Chain A
Amino acid sequence: MDRAALSAGRRGSPVVTDDPVLELRGVRKRFGAVQALDGVDLRCAGGEVHALLGENGAGKSTLMHVVAGLVAPDAGEMHLAGRPVAWSSADAARAAGIAMVHQHFMLVPTMTVAENVALALGGLRPFRPERLAARVAALAAECGLEIGDPQRIVDELSVGEQQRVEILKALVGPTRVLILDEPTAVLTPDEVDGLFALLRGLAASGTAIVIVTHKLREALAIAQHVTVLRRGRVVGRGVAAQLDEASLAALMVESPGDLRGPARADVAPEPLVASRGAAPLLRVRGLRARDRRGALVLDGVSLDVPAGAVAVVAGVEGNGQTELVQALSGVARGTLASFEGDVVLGEDTIRSAADARAAGLAVVPPDRRRDGLVLGLELWENLLLAHDALAAAASLGVLDRRAAQRDAARRLAEYGVRPSDPRAPAAELSGGNQQRVVLARELGRVHLRAVVAANPTRGLDLVATVAVHERLRALASGGAAVLVLSSDLDEVDALAGAKYVLYRGRLAGPLPATADRAELGRLMAGVGVAA
């Protein structure tokens, strides 16, 4: 650990040889009682990749929204290529060459991929769909992004595919500053490598790149400079080459004692793999499913998860993850064009979502805003979005609102949701906090025998991620069958369960305990697998 490389506060910015393309001085922004940004300075030179690190609520997204013209700062200066600027709108920022890839996608779900990209291209000239599609396909190839058929409707794409479209959108048009908010969460390791190669290429051509992330490993791999925010202030900055993960992690959290378990890489978690011959609690047999386009999205998926064990299905969105969760949670028959196979939890066959809930299944869906929450409802109401929990909260059909809200306040506090007011609408929460609400509801179920969780820690910071992994492992230790789908190899390692890989609807595994990250990464990308 090289503490000397980190200088606290505003003193001693690292030497940047070029003039900064983007420079922020003393940016402040207040939302109600929360000082989201409290005098933040940031310098990013052309040709530089700058990583912005911090916990949930540290102010990273707010700062980037200021740069992209989405949020007007209360105070502070912004300079673009040496000239002072103040954005009247996001369009003004975009026209000046600032592009942002958002954590939550800004796509029109009912339009095709090509049409969405065309929106970013601008212009009012009429176009022929095929020619536009060809042009978008060429652009994607040029950027090294796999987006599939550009004529597909965005709503039909997986989260991962949608994100690739977002990145493509940001790369069209003049781009002096490219901001990426949590860009790697849904990419395979290979795709992350590809993205980083692409970013390095862009940087080499003079673009300033700011990448917002929780993943220290990636930040250190791609960035030249690092800035760490905590509660709206810069608490450290430095040159990536002189930093390591431990020192950054210590800076990001307020009390380094919170960093337990997998965050301290020296302690390997005890594997939670059931002994040979243990009776499976969650049994999945021969799942085959086609989506509305007729594509085979699950191709004979079978696996067993015994009580007390953790199974991890590695893989990237778009390879059957969404459909596997639908099948396990009992909604596949209503949402997929065709579906066959059996899901059994204990003695209960799961044919509907009500069956799944009655059998004691907790579900953390891959898309929390689409399936996990009702954004227009208040938090306490969202915590009742499970058939059995809602029935338990009512007597003769009438809700005990006060008791439900009291219970909600306790659970929201337990999972560190901010705001913790149970009457707050779910729509007002940041992405990480929305994920916490889903986790609070599902992992806190009274009747819980099995968990199916897709990317359960997406958008969560380091401390919360560790806490969720510990909670999942604790549930397994308590006798539950835990199945986690993840695209994050760190998560696969941290959960230390039986390893599977889902690629193009086919499940490989369980892999031998000796399978390492490189092998998992290859399987997730389909290398060495007959398509």
Chain B
Amino acid sequence: MSSAARVLAPALVAVPVALVFAAVVALVSGADPWTAVRALLVGSVGSASSVATTLLKTAPLLLTGAAVMLAFRSGVFNIGAEGQLLVGALAGTIAGTAPGPDAGRWVLVLACGAVAGGAWALIPAAFRIVRGVNEVITTILLNFVALYLVSYAVDGPLQEAARQYPQSESLVAGAMLWRPFAGSQIHVGIGIAALAAVAAGGLLSYTALGLRLRASGLNASAARLAGFPVTRDLAVAFALSGALAGLAGAVEVAGVTGRLYERISPGYGYTAIAIALLGNLRTGGVVAAALLFAALATGATAMERSAGVSAVLALGVQGATLLAIALSSTTVLARFAAVRTVAGNGEEAPDGA
């Protein structure tokens, strides 16, 4: 099994598993399994418009997935992509609704989103560096802070002038991302997300900073002895991860919703953790897993519409699929990989020291 195949395998295996679960869910809820499976397939990738919807959902998942990938490979357990995304969306909205020149405003929106996400992530970084507080706890807690911050903003200072709904004013026209296809919501942010994910992977594999981050993440003691600036690099890892997630929030506001409201993220930042792990913490795998989860979410909506399966059950397909893949990738696939390594790798050391 080539390394590319090993990275992509879990995401690819997930497709048939998801279809089987969809059929089971349909049976349980009294619908026709075949109709449900077809709805899931057609509704996610079966037509131009469903592909577009899937791609739209892919952008934030890919960006947050890359954020988690970069953090985890640097030894930073950033569970806070959700909060960093929300803060990015908030900052992007402020930049996109503030008075000022219109032209090229979208650049400012994206930049503010990334910077805000990165700054938000530096809070848990400071806690860890100064006081040794585990970032798993701080990043989770900060997700709630971010959520209530958005909630306060759209019900207070940022609320639309009409004061009718808890949502912000619309972004100015120049703040919205370019939509190249007339009549389609497809926006340039999807390409930006793909570029950012590739850049994150490239940074880890092809730069001196990336090697330092991975070395510190795997063995801080050895990295310290090597003379690497371990503490500074740790802060950089937090900031870069947060910036990717913050960018996701800004892209969502400037590309899709056009304004900020409380439930702008259906938990992208949490799904991102599953995506990063399912993608083996490699760029190719993260792209495949982000597409898969976006397709599942889009298809689940279609299943409800065409097959009459409750959306709640349909979304359950996502969770069940993930569990099945997690199980298989830690047992069957891992065993398969181990067997292949022993049998197929002639360079393996026979430990004869």
Rounded to whole angstroms, the CA-CA distance of A378 and B214 in the bound complex is: 11
Q: Give the total of A residues in contact with B, Cβ under 8 Å.
A: 64
Q: How many residue pairs at the A-B interface have CB separations less than 8 Å?
A: 146
Interface positions, chain B 137-175, Cβ under 8 Å from A, are none
Cβ of A487 under 8 Å from chain B: no
Cα-based distance from A355 to B226 in the complex (angstroms): 11
State which of A36, A377, A384, A387 has its C-beta within 8 Å of the C-beta of B352.
A36
Rounded to whole angstroms, the CA-CA distance of A433 and B223 in the bound complex is: 20
User: A375 to chain B: which residues have CB within 8 Å?
Assistant: 218-219
Chain B interface extent, by class: 20 to 34
Q: Which of B29-56 contact A (CB under 8 A)?
A: none
Check if B206 is an interface residue, CB within 8 A of chain A.
yes
* A36 vs chain B, min Cβ distance (A): 3
Residues of the A chain whose Cβ atoms lie less than 8 Å from the Cβ of B347: 32-33, 419, 421, 424, 428
Contact mask for chain A residues 313-356; partner B; CB cutoff 8 A; 1 contact, 0 none: 00000000000000001110011000000000000000011111
B351 to chain A, nearest CB (A): 4
Q: B207, B214, B218, B221: which has the most chain A beta carbons within 10 Å?
A: B221
CA distance in complex: A399, B206 (Å): 6
A 386-404 binary contact with B (CB < 8 Å = 1; else 0): 1110110110011101000
Do the beta carbons of B209 and A397 come within 8 Å of each other?
Answer: yes
For A388, the chain B residues whose CB sits under 8 A away are 227
Quick check: A353 and B226 within 8 Å, CB to CB?
Answer: yes
Does B312 count as interface, using CB distance less than 8 angstroms? no
Q: How far is the CA of A353 from the CA of B230 in the complex (A)?
A: 10
B215 close to chain A: CB less than 8 A: yes
* Cβ-defined partner of B349 (8 Å) among A355, A377, A418: A418
Cβ contacts A206-220/B at 8 Å (1 or 0 each)? 000000000000000
A374 & B352 in contact (Cβ 8 Å cutoff)? no
A34-B346 in contact (CB<8A): yes
Chain A proximity of B199: nearest CB distance (Å): 12
A54 close to chain B: CB less than 8 A: yes
Interface CB pairs A-B, < 8 A, 7: A330-B227, A374-B215, A375-B218, A385-B226, A394-B207, A397-B207, A419-B348
The 10 A-B residue pairs whose C-beta atoms are closest, nearest first, are A33-B346, A387-B227, A36-B350, A432-B353, A419-B347, A357-B227, A394-B208, A32-B346, A57-B352, A353-B227
- Excluding A34-B350, A357-B227, 8 further A-B contacts by CB distance (< 8 Å) are A31-B348, A34-B346, A365-B225, A374-B219, A381-B211, A385-B215, A428-B348, A430-B350
By a beta-carbon cutoff of 8 Å, the part of chain B in contact with chain A is 206-212, 214-215, 218-219, 221-229, 342-353
Report A's interface with B, CB cutoff 8 A. Answer: 29, 31-34, 36, 54, 56-62, 65, 103, 182, 329-331, 334-335, 352-358, 363, 365, 370-377, 381, 384-388, 390-391, 393-394, 397-399, 401, 418-419, 421, 424, 428-433, 459
